[in-house]
Each structure stands twice: as C-alpha cells, then as structure tokens.
Amino acid sequence: MSSSPTPRRDPPAAAARRRWLRGPRLAAAAALVCYAGSLPNQFTYDDVPMVRDNPRIRALTDWRAVWLRDWWAGTYGPDQIDDPARDRLYR
C-alpha cells in the first residue's frame, strides 16, 4: 500500500499576499498597455525644459530640490518669469 504525497498548500499568509498583489500588478499592466505607444515618441511642450534641460534631475546630489523647489524656476529666462503662460501646462 503506497501513500501518495498530499499536495503542498501555501500557508494562508502567502496566499493572501499573492491575492493582495494581484490588484497593483493588474494596475501596472493596464498602465503599461495604455502608455506603451507613447514611449518611442519625442518630448513635447513643457517636457523639454522640465525633463531634458532641467539641471535638478541631471545629478541628484540635492535630491530634496526635486520635491521642494519650484519646477519652473530656472527653466526660462528672466524676461519670461512674469509670463502668465509660464504656469500653463499643455496636458
């Protein structure tokens, strides 16, 4: 008489963790599908001064500046600082 091994079941905590991670994984997959077509495109509108030309994100030696300082400061010349279109985002 041979006894077959019982199937190994995951502990309840591991199963609950997998169920809990299903939602964030699904959201990340949906975001990837939605925005995958935009990845090969070039920068537009405010992306050039905010991303490509922004010295704050070139070197993260002062990483607090990324979160605590005005994003538009230094992206335009002094004559454009009072331009009302400066704070208008194209999104």
pLDDT in tens, 29-80: 999 999 999 888 888 877 887 788 877 788 778 888 778 877 666 555 555 5
- In this prediction the pTM is 0.40
Is 83 a residue whose pLDDT tops 80? Answer: no
Listed in sequence order, the residues at least 6 apart from 90 whose beta carbon sits closer than 8 Å to its beta carbon are 44, 45, 46
Count the helix, strand and coil residues of the chain and give each as a percent rounded to the nearest 5.
Answer: 55, 0, 45
**Taking the alpha carbons of 60, 61, 63, 68 in that order, is the dihedral positive or negative?**
negative
